[in-house]
Amino acid sequence: MNVLSRLLNVAARNSLIRFHPKCKRVSLTHLCFADDLLIFCHGDVSSILVVVGVLGVFYELSSLQLNAGKSELFACGVHDDILSRAQVVTGFKLGSFPVRYLGVPLVTRKLTAKDYLPLVDNIRVFQISGVGSWFFLMWSSSRLSSFVKEYALKGTAFWEVSPKPQFSWTLRKLLKLRNTVADLFGNVVDWNAVKSKWVWEKLRDKREKVRWEHLIWFPLHVPRMSIVAWMVVLNRLPTKVKLINMGMKLDGLCDLCNAELEDKDHLFNDYGFVSGIWRSILQTCKIPHMILCWSDSLDWAVVNFRGKSLLVSILKLAWISLLYFVWEERNFRCFRGCSRSADNIFECIRRYVGDRINGCSINKADSVNLQLCLDWNIG
């Protein structure tokens, strides 16, 4: 999302996107929470076209495509003909106020029990503590706080302003939380200097690093691939066996082989389609292939993928890209009805690894490094 944020901000700075009238003074183009995004712009077709173009560029860079069917366009004071053209351009349906998040209306007044019903109906188990203080602290250093400070607090520091009757119910509640936060963290000289990183370090549960951390997060990693690999190791991807255990009615068969149950071990290690690709990767690195279960394969990688050599960098990149492309292939077959061969996926991995390492400083006087560069098309 950082990339998308920068793309939107650059477009606004270059006057390609006109700011929403209430966002210009703080240069606010968007707000995001997890994978939910609000984009603000002036109600003219040219600005909307640029926003759509930015989303297209982001898709090309990340392979993350906006679902127009789940997106809505909200407008106020815009002519009907402009709205119609905007809908054609974006493919979004026209939303109506108030804007809702998880079914709850985003309004400035105090929410009633009825307002919360859509959210309550969709929650089975909800146990959480400390949300008020955490949200408060994150909010106080966020982009949204800049908007509130400029337009609601009239430039007064959040930690110094006095509650006023004209403030919204939400803002008054946040102001009341200041004392709670002060008690939680003790004496802090300058609350205006408190940053999100400091808050996170104070609140987070500190534990020892997992032994496989260096397989996922390393200098050459690509975030989207590392995140998929991270979820594989933690067994968090929604494989069919996991979905069945959650109560969904599925056949459970793997979309790659249509014979075995689709769980983590089968999909990423046991199935011959995947092990064949991994064998090709190891052979290209001149490493003998051993048939191991998933946990033993992970143990082997933890021990052997250490150091900063070219070989280790290639193996790490190839491993996370294998997990990523296998999951991508599974989704292609499941949702798009298209497929690729094992050789095709191996070439995708080989090309990706070569492109990622190109430009890095490599000692090609070393015969092993030189051969690896030739085998992996590293310039």
Same domain, yes or no: 352 and 251: yes
The CB density around residue 286, as the number of other CB atoms within 10 Å, is 11
Domain membership of residue 121 (yes or no) is no
Count of the separate structural domains present in the chain: 3
* pLDDT number for residue 184: 64
How high does pLDDT run on average in the chain? 84
Examine the domain organization and report whether 251 and 346 are in the same domain.
yes
The sign one gets for the Cα dihedral 151, 153, 159, 163 is negative
Percent of the chain surpassing pLDDT 90: 36
> Which pLDDT score is estimated for 137?
44
> In the predicted model, is pLDDT for residue 174 greater than 80?
no
Is 139 in the same domain as 252?
no
Question: Do 83 and 44 form a contact (C-beta atoms < 8 A)?
Answer: no
Burial of 121 (0-12, 13-18, 19+ CB in 10 A): exposed
Tell whether 155 and 27 lie within a shared domain.
no
Residues 100-153: tens digit of each pLDDT: 777 788 877 777 878 877 776 665 433 333 444 444 444 444 556 676 777 777
Domain range for 15 is 2-97
CA distances from 52 to 47, 96, 120, 371 (A): 9, 21, 34, 45
Q: Assess if residue 68 is contained within a domain.
A: yes
Last residue of some domain: 203, 233, 252? 203
Residues with Cβ < 8 Å from 244, sequence gap 6 or more? 250, 252
| Cα separation, 374 vs 285, whole angstroms | 11
Q: Check whether residue 198 and residue 222 sit in a common domain.
A: no
Residue-wise pLDDT for 332-356, tens only, equals 998 888 999 999 999 999 999 999 9
Among residues 179, 203, 227, the one where a domain terminates is: 203
Residue 187 main-chain phi, psi, to 5 deg: -80, 115
Are residues 242 and 363 both part of a single domain?
Answer: yes
pLDDT at res. 144: 61
Domain end marker among 73, 97, 121: 97
Assess whether 175 and 195 both reside in one domain: yes
> What mean pLDDT is predicted for residues 308-321?
96
158 in the same domain as 257: no
Q: Is residue 252 part of a domain?
A: yes
Residues 242 and 357 in one domain: yes
- pLDDT of 179 > 90? The answer is no
Q: Which of 232, 252, 257 is nearest to 241 (CA)?
A: 252
Whole-model pTM: value is: 0.57
Residue 218 shares a structural domain with residue 366? yes
The answer as to whether 102 is a domain residue is no
Tokens representing 338 are 């298209």
Phi and psi torsions of 87, nearest 5°: -65, -40
Q: Tell me the pLDDT band of 224, cut-offs 50, 70 and 90.
A: very high
Confidence check: pLDDT of 81 > 50: yes
